[in-house]
Amino acid sequence: MRVEVEAERALGAVCLRDSPPGDPALRESRPRGYAVVVPLCILLVLWIWLFASEGAFRGGPSGNAFGADFAMFYSAGQVMHNGGNPYDHTLLYRSERSLMQRQHLAMTGKREVVRVGNPPLFLWALQPLIRLPFQIAAYAWVSLMYALSLAGFIAALTVLGWRRRMVPSLIFLLMPEVALGAFYGNPVAIVFAAMSLALASARRFPASAGVLLSLAWIKPPVALPLAMLVLLFQVSDRRRAFAGFASATLVFATLTPLLVGWASLGLWLRGLLAYSHDMAIQPDVASLAGLYVRWAPVWCRAGLEVAVLGAALAVTGLVLVRTRGSCRPSPTVIACLWIVWIVATPYAHYFDETLLTVPLLMFIGRDGERLTKWPVILSLYLSFFSLIFVEKLYFRANLLSLFLLATLACGITLARQPVQPGGRLHEDPIRGLERAVGVGVRYSLAAIRFPVRPMCAAATFAYAYRCVDVTTGAPYGGCLGPSG
């Protein structure tokens, strides 16, 4: 029997094909893939329904929940336009509260969380939006964030060699980290899209990848370490990539004093330091600091942060040294490094876990080839159930980082598993689900056009699950005709 070996350069996985599309062994493995994906889809639909039914979108964007992060940027842009200091959280809170009162919109009572740490050039770029009424601007911004999230995800699927995108994209858009990030208007979607596009251009256009990675300055504490990982391990020419990153950074640094003024840089740096100092009042801290930032003294907290960052730097340096002059580290190892730095950064929030979509896709493998392995299953469900601990504190500690540490352990387990030669082609439940959805849409449309087929739409998904070969998307023999 003919054996075909495919080396995935971007994914680093080896797929061995030694079975024809209609192999009964592959059909027998189909329920395992469905047992992973279908319950997750049900959970995602249920949580979105509960979230919406609680009135999350009632009244439109405001300063309390829906669009709350954008409300801070909108007010900060107005403060900057009027010559004030947008990094003064007292001034920012007064400005935002006044804005919400004029428009009769809700405003959060948590004065301490109303602050921004984004660069002044980012706030300056929002000037066209602040000329619009707040709710119109907020709807446009939230829609843009959701669209950028989807664009970044499709780019990540492309670079990792996925051929099936509809069902994975729907799952991604419903994941709590992504949906809530867009709901609040958090700019992590911009960073995620930039990093995914940088990965897509990292081999053919390393300089362009470096330019895209410079957008990590929008969320520097979280995104800059990940940008450095891409520059070190995932570009074809490090020199050109670093040159692109440095050139774009220099352009931003030059434009800032020209457009906003020299003083804005100093105000931004002081604002970042104050933001770090006041981490004890921040909600949903996903990094390791969430375990101790609310109870540890300042000197202890600083020592722990330095120790954790030093450990992450040491691990990254060890991987870099061991792969110097040889092949690049496997994608699973790189994915583990991404998680290490999200955990180590002093203040990563729950929304920032959107950036971990890329390592999770590396864990899963192209088109779900490792979807049924228990470390991958555990990683997916940990990502969903961490939602329960976003606002809850236990002994003055936020437990979100424990979920990331468990995900890291799953990644290390995957990295230690050897590739088995002579294996079968991976099962592809994603492809089977897409085929089922496609058949459902076609028959639903047919039922609308031709009333003589009303039962076709109702029985579509059961029909498709029973009759579709999940490996190839081809019909099974004896049900829809002979399979290819």
Structure confidence by residue, pLDDT tens digits, 214-248 = 999 999 989 999 999 999 999 989 999 999 999 99
Pairing outcome for strands 14-17 and 4-7: antiparallel
The candidate with the shortest Cα–Cα distance to 107, out of 142, 73, 67, is 67
Note the pLDDT tens digit of each residue in 408-441: 999 999 988 765 443 333 344 445 444 544 444 4
∠145-254-142 over CA atoms, to 5°?
10
Amino acid 300: pLDDT: 86
SS3 (DSSP) at 26: helix
Mean pLDDT across 146-154: 96
Question: Residue 22: what pLDDT?
Answer: 44
The share of the chain scoring above pLDDT 90, in percent, equals 52
Confidence band for 29, pLDDT divided at 50, 70 and 90: low
For residues 325 and 350, the model is more confident at 350
pLDDT higher than 50, residue 249: yes
Least confident of 36-45, 298-307, 320-329: 320-329
User: Would the pLDDT of 13 be above 90?
Assistant: no
Q: Tell me the residue type at 316.
A: T
Q: Which residue has the higher pLDDT, 260 or 458?
A: 260
Backbone phi and psi for residue 147, each to the nearest 5 degrees, phi listed first: -65, -40
For residue 461, is pLDDT > 60? no
On the question of pLDDT at 468 being above 70, the answer is no
Q: Is 372:36 a contact under the CB 8 Å cutoff? A: yes
Q: How far is CA 238 from the centre of its chain?
A: 25
pLDDT averaged over the chain? 81
pLDDT score for 1: 36
Give residue 324's pLDDT.
77
> Which pLDDT does position 3 carry in this prediction?
33
Question: Which amino acid is located at 407 in the chain?
Answer: T
Q: What is the pLDDT, as a whole number, of residue 376?
A: 93
Q: What sign has the CA pseudo-torsion 144, 276, 343, 51? A: negative
- Report which DSSP code applies to 474: P
* CA angle (145 as vertex; 139, 148 as ends), nearest 5: 140
Q: Can you tell me the distance from the alpha carbon of 366 to that of 240, in angstroms, rounded to the nearest whole number?
A: 28
470, 429 in Cβ contact below 8 A?
Answer: yes
pLDDT recorded at residue 229 = 95
DSSP for 159-184, please give it.
HTT----HHHHHHHHHSHHHHHHHHH
User: What pLDDT, on the 0 to 100 scale, is given for residue 325?
Assistant: 65
Burial string for 363-399 (b: 16+ CB within 10 Å, else e) reads bbbbbbbbbbbebbbbbbebbbebbebbeeeeeebbb
Whole-angstrom distance, CA of residue 79 vs CA of residue 102: 16
Q: What is the pLDDT of residues 385-410, one digit of tens each?
A: 999 888 787 888 888 999 999 999 99
- How far, in Å, CA of 287 to CA of 289, rounded? 5
Q: Which of 463 and 255 is assigned the larger pLDDT? A: 255
**pLDDT score for 323:** 81
Report residue 278's pLDDT band, with 50, 70 and 90 as the boundaries. low
Of 373, 318, 370, 323, whose CA–CA distance to 340 is shortest?
318
Please, which residues bridge with residue 63 across strands?
A: 107
Of the candidates 155, 146, 139, the one whose C-alpha atom is nearest the C-alpha of residue 190 is 146
CA distances (Å), 67 to each of 40, 43, 197, 305, in order? Answer: 27, 24, 26, 31
Would you call 60 helix, strand, or coil by DSSP? coil
Strand partners, 4: 17
Structure tokens at 63: 């300063």
Coarse DSSP helix, strand, coil percentages of the chain, rounded to the nearest 5 percent: 65, 5, 30
Tell me the per-residue pLDDT of 65-123, one tens digit each, with 9 for 90 and over: 899 999 999 999 999 998 899 998 889 999 999 999 999 999 988 887 888 889 999 99
pLDDT of 260 strictly over 50: yes
Label residue 451 by pLDDT band (50, 70, 90).
very low
Which residue would you say has higher pLDDT here, 473 or 73? 73
pLDDT at 465: 40
Minimum mean pLDDT among 172-181, 313-322, 354-363, 465-474: which range? 465-474
Q: Which residue has the higher pLDDT, 460 or 73?
A: 73
* Max avg pLDDT among 135-149, 363-377, 424-438: 135-149
> What percentage of the chain carries pLDDT values higher than 70?
78
Instruction: Reply yes or no on whether the pLDDT at 24 is more than 70.
Output: no
**pLDDT level of residue 144 (50, 70, 90 thresholds):** very high
Tokens representing residue 210 in the block: 């470096």
Residue 89 to residue 97: CA distance in whole angstroms: 12
Q: What band does 277 get if pLDDT is binned at 50, 70 and 90?
A: low
| pLDDT at residue 280 in the model | 66
> Please, which pLDDT band fits residue 173 given cuts at 50, 70 and 90?
very high
